[in-house]
Amino acid sequence: KQEVTQIPAALSVPEGENLVLNCSFTDSAIYNLQWFRQDPGKGLTSLLLIQSSQREQTSGRLNASLDKSSGRSTLYIAASQPGDSATYLCAVSSRGPTGANSKLTFGKGITLSVRP
Amino acid sequence: EAGVTQFPSHSVIEKGQTVTLRCDPISGHDNLYWYRRVMGKEIKFLLHFVKESKQDESGMPNNRFLAERTGGTYSTLKVQPAELEDSGVYFCASSPRPFTRQGHTEAFFGQGTRLTVV
C-alpha cells in the first residue's frame, strides 16, 4: 500500500529565503509525482508534474526533483514571497488494486507561511 | 477552457439527510475521480470513472455513498443517509487519460465541496 509523507506539517520563513519542501513515498513503482498548491478555501492547483522517467521539472521559481529509487521528492522554492503562503501537497500516481487502473495518493501537505 | 467545476461549494445538512454533490469535468476528459479530505487527514481516493464506467471504487467508505456518471459527462456523488463522519471536503478531478507509464498525464482538480453534517 502506497503511503506518502510530508514533514514538517508547517513551516514559517522570512521573505526572500530559498526553501525546500520534502515528500517521501513507500512504493517506488510510481507513474508520476505531482506537486499541488492549495490556498485556504480553494481547490488544488497543479504546480509541477514529474514523470517516473524524469529527474526534475522547473517552472519559474519552482523546481521539483524526483529520486524514485529512494522514494523521495523535493520542491525547491527560490526567493520566497508572501504570495507563496499556502499548503503544498505532494501526490504520487501508482497502479490501483486491480492492476489496470491508477490513482493519486496524497501526503497531508505542508502549510507554508512566508513572513514579509 | 473551463476547469473542473463542483456544486455546491458548501453544504450543511443534518444527520440522516441526503446530499448530492455534482462535478463537471473538463470537456473531453474521460477520466473522472472523486477524493475526500476529512479534518486532519490526507486527501483520500474514493473512486475513478472512465467515461460512464466505474474503473475503481475501492475507496468508497460504505454503501451509503453512490456515485454515478450517466452519459460519461458530469458525475454525482450521493450520500444517503449522511453521518457525522462524512463531514469533509469532497474533491473532483479529471484527466484526459489514466495515469500510466506512457505520456504526461496531469490531474486537474475542482475547488471542492465542503460538506458539514450536524
**What pLDDT tens digit does each residue of chain A (116 aa) get?**
889 999 999 999 999 999 999 999 999 988 889 999 999 888 899 999 998 889 999 999 999 999 999 999 999 999 999 999 999 999 998 876 666 567 889 999 999 999 99
Q: Is B72 in CB contact (< 8 Å) with chain A?
A: no
Rounded Cα distance, B27 and B4, in Å:
9
Res. B107 pLDDT band, cuts 50 70 90? confident
Query: How close is the nearest chain B Cα to the Cα of A19, in Å?
Result: 23
**Cβ neighbourhood burial of A18 (10 Å; 0-12, 13-18, 19+):** exposed
Strands (E), chain A: 4-5, 10-14, 19-25, 30-38, 44-51, 56-59, 62-67, 72-77, 86-95, 102-106, 110-115
Specify whether the CB–CB gap between A90 and A73 falls below 8 A. yes
Supply the pLDDT for residue B104. Answer: 63
pLDDT cut 90: percent of chain B above it: 79
**Residue pointed to by grid coordinates 510510481:** A30
**Mutating which of B99, B102, B106, B109 best tests the A interface, going by the most A Cβ atoms within 10 A?**
B99
Rounded Cα distance, A96 and B116, in Å:
29
Instruction: Name chain A contacts of B110, Cβ cutoff 8 Å.
Output: 43
Instruction: Name chain A contacts of B107, Cβ cutoff 8 Å.
Output: 34, 46, 91, 93, 104
Q: Is A29 in CB contact (< 8 Å) with chain B?
A: no
- Given B42, B59, B111, which is nearest A42 (Cβ)? B111
**Mutating which of A46, A103, A105, A110 best tests the B interface, going by the most B Cβ atoms within 10 A?**
A103
Neighbours of A22 (CB within 10 A): 15
b or e along A36-46 (b: 16 or more beta carbons within 10 Å of the residue's beta carbon)?
A: bbbeeeebbee
Per-residue cell: A46: 497543479
Rounded Cα distance, B107 and B4, in Å:
10
| Average pLDDT taken over every residue of chain B | 92
Instruction: Name chain A contacts of B106, Cβ cutoff 8 Å.
Output: 34, 46, 49
Per-residue cell: A1: 500500500
Supply the pLDDT for residue B102. Answer: 59
- Given B4, B41, B45, which is nearest A104 (Cβ)? B45
Condensed to tens digits (0 to 9), the pLDDT of residues B6-48 reads 999 999 999 999 999 999 999 999 999 999 999 889 999 999 9
* A43 to B106: CB separation less than 8 angstroms, yes or no: no
Q: Is B109 in CB contact (< 8 Å) with chain A?
A: yes
